[in-house]
Amino acid sequence: MRNPFETDERRGFRESMARFVAQEIRPFADEWDEAGGFPWELHRKAGDLGLFGFGIAEEYGGLGFDDCFMRAAAGEELGRCGATGVAASLGARNISTGPIALLGSEELKLRVLPKVLSGETASSLAITEPGGGSDVASLQTSARRDGDEWVLNGQKTFITGGMNASHYVVGARTGGPGLKGISLFFVDWGTPGFSRSALERKMGWWASDTASLYFDDVRLPASALLGPENGGFIAIMNNFNYERLTMIAQGLGMAKLCFDEAVAYARERRTFGKRLIDHQVIAHKVAEMSARIDSVEAYLNQICWLAENGPMPVAEISKAKFLSTKMLEYVASECMQIFGGAGYLRGNPVERVYREVKVMAIGGGSEEIMKDLAIRQMGVAAG
Ligand SMILES: Cc1cc2nc3c(=O)[nH]c(=O)nc-3n(C[C@H](O)[C@H](O)[C@H](O)COP(=O)(O)OP(=O)(O)OC[C@H]3O[C@@H](n4cnc5c(N)ncnc54)[C@H](O)[C@@H]3O)c2cc1C
């Protein structure tokens, strides 16, 4: 569908992203997902493309500008890569560099960001704990002051990119219960008392290194505190906006990949003397999927325009996040159905996307939590 907000720059960026995905990821997606990882070189290639630099100044290795449409284009094109665990592992930077760039000291930004943004090293965001992810205000990992240092104790889990990251942004309790007692910390891998283990046997995202993190009396310098003490909750919530926007776009790209594959198959496969696409039931599935894909695409474009021309449209992002994953769930299921038995075999990208639907509907704020947030933002109920 034509985007009324497109410009030459945005089109050019999308084309270079699409080329990158088609040449550097798609041909290897199946092999990498089965192997549970991909060559580090891909991080560097994505860094060269500027994938990690939105909203970060050039002196720290960033692009020196931001553009919501380009962020969305990157998410959508990566969603088409055929194994979005690859995209997740690359993109763990995008959800962790924001707090470093916004809240870190000059020394920290100069030390860390250029290498992370170029793809030489990686960073992860660690909020979720074994005790829960939705209720961020109740997180239990603690950081207490000891002289000039902080002492970090606790555990995080489901941390994307967590096995290969060199740096982490970690949410921890520094004050009383609830959202006003949380702070963000910067933690280097290698700090004594910090260990990690791989979370394996996931339903999908096999190419992504997901970790549990353990902090056992980890001593951090005073400068590890990112932003104000006990002011971490709002920083975490603000940081979610771009993560969710990217996930809306990624879900759109995943749906388009399934759709293209299923339509191509339906135009070839013959049953009862005619092509699948010529059976009205199948044609109607295609029409229904196309309409739902278009509606998320149009909503996303409007959200990008709002973000570019005013405050972050938090309610719309929340609504579009669950709309996108509901659309993806429907499209992935219908496309699997169109493939019949052939869709049930590993190696078919539709089969993989079908297994990746749930992480999109749960991660970065689940459908239920997005509806709660939308209701609160709309001001119609406490939520
Ligand atoms: C592959 C993967 C990668 C991830 N990567 C990261 C990462 O990089 N960093 C990070 O910090 N986290 C990450 N997460 C964690 C993710 O953000 C959490 O899984 C998510 O926030 C939900 O938390 P939970 O799993 O603890 O579920 P819970 O919070 O225990 O919720 C369980 C279910 O109950 C529902 N629920 C909870 N509260 C309510 C309510 N009030 N009303 C109605 N329903 C409710 C939820 O929607 C969910 O369906 C990742 C998760 C996965 C699966």
- DSSP states along 228-277: STT-HHHHHHHHHHHHHHHHHHHHHHHHHHHHHHHHHHHHH-EETTEEGG
We find that the CATH architecture of domain 8-122 is: Orthogonal Bundle (1.10)
Domain 124-233: CATH class, spelled out? mainly beta
Does ligand 1 come within 6 angstroms of the Cβ of 238?
A: no
381: left (phi over 0), alpha (psi -120 to 50) or beta: beta
- pLDDT, mean of residues 136-141: 98
Residue with CA nearest ligand 1 atom 32: 134
Q: Identify the pLDDT of residue 247.
A: 98
Whether residue 382 is predicted with pLDDT greater than 90 in this model: the reply is no
Integer Cα distance of 162 and 167 in angstroms: 9
Pocket test for ligand 1, best of 366, 370, 371, 376 (most atoms within 8 A of CB): 366
What is the domain partition of the chain in residue ranges?
8-122, 124-233, 235-378
- pLDDT, mean of residues 55-84: 98
Task: Report the predicted TM-score, pTM, of the whole model to 2 decimal places.
Answer: 0.97
Does ligand 1 come within 6 angstroms of the Cβ of 158?
A: yes
Pocket test for ligand 1, best of 93, 95, 96, 128 (most atoms within 8 A of CB): 128
In the block, which residue shows the tokens 């919501």?
68
Q: Identify the pLDDT of residue 383.
A: 53
Residue with CA nearest ligand 1 atom 7: 159
Integer Cα distance of 349 and 253 in angstroms: 12
* Structure-token pair, residue 105: 């000291």
**Residue-wise pLDDT tens digits, 275-333:** 999 999 999 999 999 999 999 999 999 999 999 999 999 999 999 999 999 999 999 99
- Output the CA 56–ligand 1 centroid distance in Å: 28
Half-sphere exposure of 127 (CA within 13 A, CB side): 26
Mark 269-306 as b/e (b = at least 16 C-beta within 10 Å). Answer: eeeeeeebbeeeebeebbeebeebbeebbebbbebbbe
- pLDDT, mean of residues 344-365: 97
Q: Which of 243, 316, 334, 367 is catalytic?
A: 243
Integer Cα distance of 181 and 191 in angstroms: 24
- Say whether 120 is catalytic: no
**Closest ligand 1 atom, residue 126 Cα:** 11
Instruction: Please give the radius of gyration of the chain, using alpha carbons only, rounded to the nearest integer.
Output: 21
**Average pLDDT value for the chain:** 97
Residue 381: which pLDDT band, with cuts at 50, 70 and 90? confident
Share of the chain above pLDDT 90, in %: 99
- Output the CA 263–ligand 1 centroid distance in Å: 33
We find that the CATH architecture of domain 235-378 is: Up-down Bundle (1.20)
Length of the chain: 383
Integer Cα distance of 320 and 80 in angstroms: 19
- Output the CA 133–ligand 1 centroid distance in Å: 4
Q: Do residues 313 and 306 touch, judged by C-beta distance below 8 A? A: yes
Residue 370: which pLDDT band, with cuts at 50, 70 and 90? very high
- Output the CA 325–ligand 1 centroid distance in Å: 14
Does ligand 1 come within 6 angstroms of the Cβ of 127?
A: yes
CA dihedral 196, 201, 202, 204 (to 10 degrees): 130
**Residue-wise pLDDT tens digits, 212-270:** 999 999 999 999 999 999 999 999 999 999 999 999 999 999 999 999 999 999 999 99
DSSP string for residues in 145-205: EETTEEEEEEEEEEEETTTT-SEEEEEEE-SSSSGGGEEEEEEETT-TTEEEEE--S-SS-
Mark 135-156 as b/e (b = at least 16 C-beta within 10 Å). Answer: ebeebebebeeeeeebbbbbeb
